[in-house]
Structure 1
Amino acid sequence: MSDNQLRLVWIYPDLLSTYGDQGNALVVERRARQRGLDVARLDVRSDQPIPTSGDIYLIGGGEDRPQRLAAERLRRDGHLQRAVQNGAIVFSVCAGYQILGHEFVNDLGQREPGLGLLDVVSVRGEGERCVGDVLADVDPQLGLPQLTGFENHQGVTHVGPTARPFAHVKVGNGNGTGDGTEGAYNGTVFGTYMHGPVLARNPQIADLLLKLALDVNALPPVDDRWYEALRNERISAAQQPA
């Protein structure tokens, strides 16, 4: 971050914003402004180049064909990889999460190369689709409270040795591998299957992204009563018997 301005980039809203994940950009922007930060938000469509000067990049979920198109264009563009090499933070959801890995299965049933920014490989699950509420305990190294979200995916994502699971599920399927893992992260790159939007349900994740971008250990407190009420309601609902 330079010039006292936070540069927030929302990637391909025309392809990867099926499940309301644009709300994640709204939450990061609002929480930054609540701390007195000047925020420059850029929504980059799939026919536009990705800027390399962003501080935080957000990628949402999408259907299978738009996911393939997004992966193809991001590979050709190459700028997101360069931004990560320069220290940028990336937070991705569902289809975006799979794109950041080494490969995933596309809408044609073929193995589609990802960007290789996360050490994960995604395949298509053979069982029932993973749909429903998620409760997950985040990796203790990240210092976040229990997370709540909503999953809707057929993917099974295996986390490799150079990445860490973002969380472990108490309710839900997470990565779908049967080991309880949910999402993955490595350095400044994060992926999760949780919608919600997940940052609206868990604004502490947005604060983590801001702290990484600002290179600080703490942020000024803000009034989180509304967020906490929503979070507690969602946690309570997820714990109810089906």
Structure 2
Amino acid sequence: MALSTLRIVWLYPDLLSTYGDRGNLLVLAHRARARGIDVEPMQIRSDQHIPHTADIYLIGGGEDGPQAVAADRLLQDGALSRAAEAGKPILAICAGYQLLGASFYANGRAYEGLNILDLRSDRGPSRAVGEIAGEAAPQLGIGPITGFENHGGRTHLGEAVQPLARVTAGVGNDGATEGAWAGHVIGTYMHGPGLARNPKLADLLLAWAVGVNPAQLPPLDDTWPERLRHERFAALSASQ
């Protein structure tokens, strides 16, 4: 593997960090270190410049006010858009996911997004709260996904992105699809944190960052993550 030190940026923890989303940083750091990769976690607040030299960028969820502030500062900074153009892996959750599109709805009106992904978000008829699960896009090779959602938005995908998954439980984008991806950028409504519940998704991001196929990453003992996944899928099955 090419990287000796993996630089993971957690963006705007002072604005966007709900429902355990910081756990995604912890999961990536743990899975990298377990494979002998040094990790430099970087928490970049909204009053700081975003580094251009990171290897993975993470954004979490947040409420309307902080989301609108984050959009303005990300647009002014420009570094996240340049990271996407350079092919750096980006994982964005909930409000962070909506920020990656052309527009999103907050505080009763539409705001400009970063236009990193071909999508737009608006308000749905009801709030989506609870477990979400789906069959991930087969091209990604990560299998079924599981997470927790809590959002009032609905996201509409354009032609230049693909759904992260087809929904089997919950709402996601619109009751049919969940999340979106294009290149090395993934957006999703899955909290949980999502990478704790979906270790193959974590490894996909790591593989993109170090420039290998996920199958080339040394295997880890995923007994506990798999027990968690089994528990969540079993709970969904019992409730249906």
TM range (shorter): over 0.9
Distance 1:237 1:3, change over 3 A: closer
* Aligned pairs (5 A) from 1:8-19: 8-19=8-19
Match in the other structure for 1:37: 37
1:238 Cα offset (Å): 1.5
Which runs of 5 or more structure 1 residues have no equivalent in the other structure? none
Does the Cα contact within 8 Å between 1:12 and 1:70 map onto a contact in 2?
A: yes
SS at match of 2:239: coil
Partner of 2:92: 92
Instruction: State the Cα distance separating 1:3 from its structure 2 match.
Output: 5.8
- Residues of 2 paired with 1:135 and 1:235: CA distance? 8
CA–CA distance in structure 2, aligned partners of residues 33 and 102 of structure 1: 36
1:165 is matched with: 163
Offset of residue 2 of structure 1: 6.9
- Cα deviation 1:17-76 (Å, max 9, x = unaligned): 021100000000100001100111100000000001111000000011000010110001
Q: Kindly indicate whether the alpha-carbon contact (under 8 Å) linking 1:19 and 1:62 is maintained by their aligned counterparts in 2.
A: no
Corresponding residue number in structure 2 for 1:239: 237
User: Partner of 1:123 in structure 2?
Assistant: 122
CA offset at residue 241 of structure 1?
Answer: 2.1
Question: What is aligned with 2:104?
Answer: 104
- Give the partner amino acid of 1:230: L
Check if 1:47 corresponds to 2:47.
yes
Aligned length: 238
Question: Partners in 1 of 2:161 and 2:87 — Cα distance?
Answer: 17
Moved >2 Å (runs of 4+): none
Q: Which residue pairs with 2:185 in the alignment?
A: 189
CA-atom RMSD in angstroms: 1.2
Out of 121, 132, 135, the residue aligned to residue 133 of structure 2 is: 135
Counterpart for residue 56 of structure 1: 56
Residue deviations 1:174-197 (CA, integer Å, cap 9, x gap): 102x4x110000001110001110
Between the two proteins, what is the percent identity of the paired residues?
55
State the AA in 2 paired with 1:90: I
TM-score (norm 1): 0.96
Instruction: Could you tell me which runs of 5 or more consecutive residues in structure 2 were left unpaired when the two chains were aligned.
Output: none
Q: Work out whether residues 168 and 174 of structure 1, in 8 Å CA contact, stay in contact via their aligned partners in 2.
A: no
